[in-house]
């Protein structure tokens, strides 16, 4: 675990903000739960020990904010099968150890499959330009990353390049989590940088339908505290609406040029998010006009060939889905920090830097900083 003391550029302001939050939660006079949907928010909350400043009656839960973690088992299987066919796979490093039905990409790589780790979809195109092999970009990530995939598809990639899209779209899953039976979520903290693309307006229909407020916040400790103050204020006032607390990056309409490219290339379809549920419109797939760069159309991927195998026994004990739905936290898991550690992850939440379990493993979940402050 990393020992990170609270680092605020203005500690007095931070403590004043924390006191305001405490006062508002006291006014609420009941326990409340709010959810954020961004791995970077959880990293900042954990890294800066913010949970020690949150009132005990306010539960700040990380939802399905880790795109690698919600990449479904059959999607990993598709990548594994393509790699086993001799296709050269380019993917983000976090994807390597995400468990599939019988194998991860790392297992396939150990068996001789060609897998390149990339940081940018552009690097996958570069690899394709320099080889005669078929190169498939196994693309994960939310809309912020999907726009980069869209841009390389529109930029005339070489004929041996195609895309296996596991891209996911965040707004629909908020709906699913808000409507889950037993959901205690009364408000959402939306991720500043994802909203750079979509704009704050994308959340307006959600608020209208679900009567739950959404506050867009940045990643500084103060941004997060201020976002929570605003969120609890909206819960108290029973005036659900969208508030943009990150105007230096996010506008109401968002980045229109990026949205145009995103929706020209992708269409939203329903699909499963690992451990969560079927999410209507939650998956981004290539439109028919881009069938020539769609790995699902270009190759035969015989998924059922993998499905005669039962998942390993340990994986069945994984509660990753409940953690991402906000029903339980990593400490409720029998595997957390025992059988399941970043070096040997059982569930996807321990694999990615944005996974709740990996973040809690590294920083601890709720450090007791009050005692040492």
Partner 1 sequence: MCLGVPGRVIEVREFTATVDFWGVRKDVRLDIVDEPVAPGDYILNHVGFAIRRIPPESVQETLALYEMLLGGDDADLMTSDVRGEISGAMKGTS
DSSP character at residue 340: B
Pairing of strands 88-92, 135-139: parallel
Pick from 15, 114, 122, 298 the residue near partner 1 by CB under 8 A: 122
Judge contact between 303 and 77, C-beta under 8 A. yes
Does 94 engage in binding with partner 1 (CB under 8 A)? yes
Q: By CB under 8 A, is residue 43 in contact with partner 1? A: yes
Task: State yes or no: residue 238 binds partner 1 (CB under 8 A).
Answer: no
Structure tokens given for 229: 């103050």
- Chosen residue from 20, 28, 33, 47 binding partner 1 by CB under 8 A: 47
**Shorter beta-carbon distance to partner 1: residue 62 or 258:** 258
Interface pick for partner 1 out of 71, 104, 255, 356 (rule CB under 8 A): 255
Residue 40: CB atoms within 10 Å: 19
Q: 160 and 126 in contact (C-beta within 8 Å)? A: no
306 binds partner 1 (CB under 8 A): no
Q: Is 151 in the site for partner 1 (CB under 8 A)?
A: yes
State the Cα–Cα distance between residues 89 and 91, nearest whole angstrom. Answer: 6
Q: Contact between 154 and partner 1 (CB under 8 A)?
A: yes
* Of positions 89, 191, 224, 234, contacts partner 1 by CB under 8 A: 191
Taken as a whole, the chain contains a residue count of 373
For the four alpha carbons of 139, 140, 143 and 144, in that order, the dihedral sign comes to negative
Find tokens 């321990």 and name the residue.
350
User: Residues 107, 116, 126, 339: which binds partner 1 (CB under 8 A)?
Assistant: 126
- Please state the closest distance from residue 122 (CB atom) to partner 1, in A: 5
Rounded Cα–Cα distance for residues 100 and 80 (Å):
8
| Contact mark string toward partner 1, 74..93, x via CB under 8 A | ------------------xx
Q: Which is nearer to partner 1, 156 or 370 (CB)?
A: 156
Q: Which of 31, 324, 277 is nearest to 172 (CA)?
A: 277
The size of the interface with partner 1 (CB under 8 A), counted in residues, is: 50
Name the nearest CA neighbour of 144 among 226, 73, 69, 39: 39
49 binds partner 1 (CB under 8 A): no
CB of 118 to partner 1, least distance (A): 8
Residue from 148, 201, 236, 341 binding partner 1 (CB under 8 A): 148
What is the x/- site pattern for partner 1, positions 197-236, by CB under 8 A? x---------------------xx----------------
Helix intervals (H) in the chain: 11-28, 39-47, 73-84, 105-110, 121-129, 143-154, 170-179, 192-198, 204-210, 221-237, 256-265, 295-298, 313-316, 320-324, 356-363, 369-372
Q: By three-state DSSP, how is residue 336 classified?
A: strand
Out of 144, 200, 329, 356, the only residue in the binding site for partner 1 (CB under 8 A) is 144
Quick one: 220 or 322, whose CB is closer to partner 1?
A: 220
The 10 Å Cβ neighbour count of residue 208 is 11
Which one of the spans 95-103, 186-194, 268-276, 311-319 is the region binding partner 1 (CB under 8 A)?
186-194
- Sites of contact with partner 1 (CB under 8 A): 2, 4, 7, 9, 38-40, 43-44, 47, 67, 92-94, 119-123, 126, 141-142, 144-145, 147-148, 150-151, 154-155, 191, 193-194, 196-197, 219-220, 248-249, 255-258, 261, 353-354, 358-359, 362-363
């Amino acid at each position: 675990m990393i020992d990170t003391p609270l680092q605020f550029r203005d500690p007095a302001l931070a403590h004043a903000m924390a006191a305001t939050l405490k006062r508002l939660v006291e006014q609420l006079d009941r326990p409340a739960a709010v959810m954020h949907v961004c791995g970077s928010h959880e990293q900042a909350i954990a890294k800066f020990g913010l949970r020690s400043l949150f009132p005990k009656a306010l539960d700040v839960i990380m939802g399905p904010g880790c795109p690698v973690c919600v990449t479904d088992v059959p999607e990993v299987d598709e990548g594994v099968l393509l790699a086993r066919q001799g296709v050269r796979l380019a993917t983000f490093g976090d994807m390597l150890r995400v468990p599939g039905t019988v194998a991860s990409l790392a297992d396939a790589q150990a068996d001789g499959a060609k897998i390149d780790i990339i940081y940018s979809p552009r690097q996958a195109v570069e690899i394709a330009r320099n080889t005669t092999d078929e190169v498939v970009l196994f693309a994960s990530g939310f809309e912020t990353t999907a726009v980069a995939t869209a841009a390389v598809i529109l930029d005339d990639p070489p004929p041996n390049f195609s895309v296996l899209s596991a891209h996911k779209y965040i707004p629909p899953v908020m709906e699913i989590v808000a409507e889950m039976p037993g959901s205690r979520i009364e408000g959402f903290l939306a991720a500043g940088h994802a909203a750079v693309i979509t704009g704050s307006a994308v959340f307006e229909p959600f608020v209208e339908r679900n009567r739950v407020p959404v506050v867009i916040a940045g990643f500084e400790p103060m941004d997060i505290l201020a976002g929570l103050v605003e969120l609890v204020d909206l819960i108290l006032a029973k005036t659900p609406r969208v508030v943009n607390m990150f105007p230096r990056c996010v506008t109401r309409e968002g980045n229109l040029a990026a949205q145009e490219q995103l929706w020209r290339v992708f269409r939203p379809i329903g699909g499963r998010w690992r451990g969560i549920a079927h999410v209507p419109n939650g998956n981004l797939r290539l439109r028919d006009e881009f069938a020539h760069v769609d790995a699902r159309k270009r190759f035969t991927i015989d998924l059922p060939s993998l499905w005669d195998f039962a998942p390993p026994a340990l994986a069945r004990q994984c509660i990753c889905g409940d953690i991402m739905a906000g029903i339980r936290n990593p400490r409720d898991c029998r595997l957390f920090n025992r059988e399941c550690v970043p070096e040997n992850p059982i569930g996807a939440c321990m694999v990615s830097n944005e996974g709740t379990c990996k973040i809690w493993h590294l920083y601890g979940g709720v450090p007791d900083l009050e005692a040492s402050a």
